[in-house]
Structure 1
Amino acid sequence: MTLKSGGIAVAIALAFASVAGNAVAADENAASTCGTDRTIDIAEMTWPSAAALAHIHSRILEAGYGCKVEVVTGDTVPTSTSMLTRGTPAVAPELWTSAIEEQWQQGLKDGKVVALSDAITDGTIEGWFIPRYTQEANPELTSAEAVIAHPEIFPDPEDSSKGRLYSCPPGWACELSTTALFEAFDMKDKWNLFSPGSGGALDASIARAFTREEPILFYYWGPTAILGKFDAVQLDLGEAKPEVYACNTDPDCDDAPGVTAYPSSPAVVGAAAWIQEEAPNVAAYFSKVGLTNAQISELLVYGDENQADAAATAENFLKTKEDVWTTWVPADVADKVKATL
């Protein structure tokens, strides 16, 4: 069959379009593969947010990228030590590096580990909180000092002549920091420092106050289900002074406790360096997975209210927050993950 010049031009254009389309498809397919036959072990840390993130990423990498994935038990110090020395686990999806700062920085310098992104994009939070309804009724209560001047608003249920500050359970680092601030603010004459017996007891006290719409002054941190569930306002503690905070949390420090805000602890997606070298698609994925405090706290509310484990909490996030996690991956990866839900 003979083609006229116009037909030849159309045929050539179609051929180029087909080649270009195939090239794009090939590029997309290449970007949607795991890139390594090695098992990617992801650390499931002992706190709820990190545990849920481990299962979210495991599901996406396995179903979407075809990776061999294993979720393994972890915690900050043993996980980072193993990652630095043995290259395993491959990924820690919420690694708070403040507790391992010196070792982590040396590992980055030596090329043994990489920080692929900020796991919590707006930083972790710690501090003293009151309910928003209490602040709305008393607009002047914006700082710790302003609250301390009004113990009568936060009466101790067991000693109404004083206010009550809810601290942390015995043995927690935040018990040291809160006790130090209690002393630095010279609160003992008008306030009682209450130490609950456990994290569950602290949560129960906070939940009870919010349910009854009662005033409460309490230490807490985020991201957490408590801050996702209840509308709490963080009080101004002034400037964060790392040296003062370090002394406040060191039982052997001889200096008097000082006033300081809680420094925000970095929380990164930490990984063994081989991930970036052998599985660049996986590294690229983890470079996009940061969530805000509010987003993480919100996903934890489901687990808290439904007594769901980390895997179930992760699945709920994947089902209800497609608008979030689908921005982390190519479209074909998203489709593969959706098909498993």
Structure 2
Amino acid sequence: MAGNRILYGIGAALTALTLSVSPLAAQSLPGEGTTVRMGQPTWDTEWFQAQVYKKAMEALGYTVQGPTALDNPPFYQALGQGDMDFWASGWFPLHNTYLDEIKGKASTVGYVAKGGALQGYLIDKKTAEEHNIRTVDDFKKPEVAKLFDDNGDGKADLVACPPGWGCELTITHQMEAYGLGDTVEPIKAAYSASMADAISRYEQGKPIFFYTWTPNWTVGMLKPDEDVVWLEVSKPSLPEDQKEMESQTSIPDVKGCASNPCQMGWPANDIQVVANDEFLEKNPAARKLFEEMSIPLEDIFAQNAQMYQGADKPADLERQADEWIKANQQTFDGWIEAAKAAAQ
């Protein structure tokens, strides 16, 4: 009986000890109890990356609201006001103007993809070769512009960017700088729909002229040097807030460009997380996570191709993110452990 009392006493002590440490165990994840407001752009080629970042934040214990799709101006405004915490879709130098407006309230952190985001103008390879079109300046010629005129107004139809996108501001600047106002008409409708129309025209054997960026499904469907070619510019011309980047618009080894290096007129962009400064200060684990994370461009290309082929529903994006994490589990787990350590 005495032995039973001793065993009972030990058991009770162990139970009490277990109860005393269980609250600590429940709080072992640095994001536990914190809700994060996450954004993503209205252009869908960033949505896969957003899902991967969301799942990484959830692995740290954060509750993530969103990601909420916003155009650039409202997102950066909300970020500066403290109504949003972060997104993984800052394009720099393209978004310099937006970040300058909230300087001291938000910062870039880490690199989703460093220096790999190309931008520029392309046309179908067949028309380029038949009419010796190599530069944007060639579109000053009415006979060249007419080749790409789909609505009969005498101007080349350029698939451009909707209002509110950073690229829309740069394209508007360049159309004026290169003297193309009388011969080129930028299409500023929904980008995906406009590109779908362009691809349909291409499949009918018609000339096409469009702006795009990488990573993007467009260069998966219309492959540079096979289906399309990049156009060069005679000299770089960027908006005032990007002037210092003009020397970086000559890009080496661009597939589908007639020259090497290729004078694309746009600098290669870094894709970065942009986060509210107060949020970063209060969440060192999130800051460390953003510093550690990155996603290879070729993996983004592959997902974008799936999305264009119809796997673009929210459930598809979540599944694609889960599959990517599983295929890169060791790397993903390393990010989480580094972030946890930063919070200790």
Aligned to 1:81: 77
1:270 aligned to 244, 267, 274, which one? 274
CA RMSD between the two structures: 4.2
CA, structure 1 residues 40+311, in 2 after alignment: closer, same or farther (shift >3 Å)?
farther
What are the residue-to-residue correspondences of 1:284-299 with 2, within 5 Å? Answer: 284-291=288-295, 294-299=298-303
Which runs of 5 or more residues in structure 1 are unaligned? 1-28, 248-258, 334-341
Matched, 1:52 2:51: no
CA shift for structure 1 position 286: 1.5
Matched, 1:120 2:118: no
CA contact (8 A) 1:54 1:71 kept: no
Residue type of the partner of 1:114?
Answer: S
Aligned to 2:9: none
Aligned to 2:160: 168
What are the residue-to-residue correspondences of 1:316-335 with 2, within 5 Å? Answer: 316-320=320-324, 322-323=326-327, 326-330=330-334
Q: State the SS of the aligned residue for 2:309.
A: helix
Residue type of the partner of 1:228?
Answer: G
Residue type of the partner of 2:287?
Answer: A
Q: State the SS of the aligned residue for 2:286.
A: helix
Which runs of 5 or more residues in structure 2 are unaligned? 1-24, 244-262, 338-344
2:306 aligned to 302, 305, 322, which one? 302
TM-score, normalised with respect to structure 2: 0.63
Aligned to 1:71: 66
What are the residue-to-residue correspondences of 1:23-38 with 2, within 5 Å? Answer: 33-38=29-34
CA distance in 2, matches of 1:58, 1:123: 22
CA shift for structure 1 position 130: 1.9
Aligned to 1:229: 221
CA, structure 1 residues 175+288, in 2 after alignment: closer, same or farther (shift >3 Å)?
closer
CA contact (8 A) 1:52 1:311 kept: no
Q: State the SS of the aligned residue for 2:114.
A: coil
Residue type of the partner of 1:193?
Answer: E
CA distance in 1, matches of 2:171, 2:239: 16
Aligned length: 282
Instruction: Using the aligned pairs only, state the percent identity.
Output: 17
Q: State the SS of the aligned residue for 1:84.
A: helix
CA distance in 1, matches of 2:220, 2:232: 20
1:218 aligned to 210, 213, 231, which one? 210
CA distance in 1, matches of 2:54, 2:164: 30
Aligned to 2:197: 205
What are the residue-to-residue correspondences of 1:132-211 with 2, within 5 Å? Answer: 132=125, 137=129, 141-145=133-137, 151=144, 154=147, 156=149, 164-168=156-160, 171=163, 178=171, 181-182=174-175, 184-186=177-179, 193=185, 195=187, 198-211=190-203
1:98 aligned to 93, 96, 99, which one? 96
Aligned to 1:43: 39
Q: State the SS of the aligned residue for 1:302.
A: helix
TM-score, normalised with respect to structure 1: 0.63
Per-residue Cα deviation, 1:181-217 (whole angstroms, up to 9, x for no partner): 456545688x563647543442123211443454322
